[in-house]
Amino acid sequence: QVQLVESGGGSVQAGGSLRLSCAASEYTYSRGRMAWFRQHPGKEREGVAFIYTRDGSTYYTDSVKGRFTISQDNAKNTVYLQMNSLTPEDTAMYYCAARTSPMYGGDWYLETLYNIWGQGTQVTVSS
């Protein structure tokens, strides 16, 4: 059963914008803990942003603060990642992730905590 479906990746020039979407099952979305990770070629996956859909609280990694915004649409069980002012360093495969059990919010960036993953969507930023 597919529970997370990402969309919205693509190619853009530096300075441009993209919006990623992650559609979740009702159960997964209701558990509240959803995040975006990315993986640069040859590197480990890193946490980009997190949202607790039950109260809208968010966390971001430092490199995207002020440029990326994670948001939610409760009617669609969907989480978004709006990415502005993109740079070539943002080029990566982006993954949506969810955790269906309680966790400490401060650990949101630890990929091992997430038990559900999407298939990934490629984002390429050219200079």
3-state secondary structure the chain: CCCEEEECCEEEECCCCEEEEEEECHHHHHHCEEEEEEECCCCCEEEEEEEECCCCEEEECHHHCCCEEEEEECCCCEEEEEECCCCHHHCEEEEEEEECCCCCHHHCCCHHHCCEECCCEEEEEEC
Per-residue pLDDT averaged across 61-66, rounded? 98
Q: Say whether pLDDT at 109 is over 70.
A: yes
Least confident of 12-16, 83-87, 106-110: 106-110
| Residue 3 banded pLDDT, cuts 50, 70, 90 | confident
Least confident of 20-29, 56-65, 81-90, 99-108: 99-108
